[in-house]
Chains A and B, each alone.
Chain A
Amino acid sequence: AQSVTQLGSHVSVSEGALVLLRCNYSSSVPPYLFWYVQYPNQGLQLLLKYTSAATLVKGINGFEAEFKKSETSFHLTKPSAHMSDAAEYFCAVSESNTGKLIFGQGTTLQVKP
């Protein structure tokens, strides 16, 4: 079964600093990978997705992620953090044989002024 590991349950950055949220996956076949964001008391919103086209994927709100097969990673980055980026971020993998979407445990991003 495929799985996702997010390194670091809490990440704190200063406003304007680089945001790096780490995600590693396990899959025996090329995966479909996703990043979601959840603001307090809301549902999940799709940030970006990797579906075997370009390895560098750009999403909404200035976020991007790079698929690295050799490292089985799909880390999320943003060059300059904004206060409005404070939220919980989830990495997820879509199982190729079932279509089930499996989530990591999430990373809470805190942005300090």
Chain B
Amino acid sequence: NAGVTQTPKFQVLKTGQSMTLQCAQDMNHEYMSWYRQDPGMGLRLIHYSVGAGITDQGEVPNGYNVSRSTTEDFPLRLLSAAPSQTSVYFCASSYDREDGYTFGSGTRLTVV
């Protein structure tokens, strides 16, 4: 199993550009989440999904969209990048709520 795969690992965007961060898992996990990590703020939940076709907002959803058309994939879209979205983004997946999430290696995004 590859686990949770995130692409790209690094990205630089200009303010106003849009892009999609990719996340794929091959463990047949129903639960998937996106987090952003900023110094001193821990990991903050952006969006999450409990299965294909079901998504919901987390703590900091503004400026981000998600969809879950398959069990395996959970892409995160930045609609119009802003410098405040400079962060490290992590995707994670889990079999169920008591199993613990498996994390990807992260995407480091810089918006200039």
> Chain A: residues with CB nearer than 8 A to chain B?
9, 32, 34, 36, 42-46, 49, 51, 90, 94-96, 98-106
Contacts and interface: CB of A to CB of B under 8 A. Distances in A.
A9 B98 CA distance: 26
Contacts of A42: 105-106
A71 B31 CA distance: 30
A14 to B, nearest CB: 25
B33 A100 contact: yes
Given A32-B98, A49-B100, A99-B31, A105 B58 contact: no
Contacts of A32: 97-98
17 contacts: A34-B100, A36-B103, A43-B104, A43-B105, A46-B101, A49-B100, A51-B98, A90-B43, A99-B94, A100-B48, A100-B58, A101-B33, A101-B45, A101-B92, A102-B45, A104-B42, A105-B40
A111 to B, nearest CB: 21
Given A43-B103, A51-B98, A90-B42, 15 more contacts: A32-B98, A42-B106, A43-B105, A45-B103, A46-B101, A46-B102, A98-B56, A99-B31, A100-B33, A101-B33, A101-B45, A101-B101, A103-B43, A106-B42, A106-B43
Contacts of A9: 40
Interface in B23-52: 31, 33, 35, 40-45, 48, 50
Interface residues of B, number: 26
Interface string B64-99: 000000000000000000000000001010101110
A106 B39 CA distance: 10
A49 B56 contact: no
Contacts of B94: 99, 101
Contacts of A94: 97-98
Nearest to A96: B97
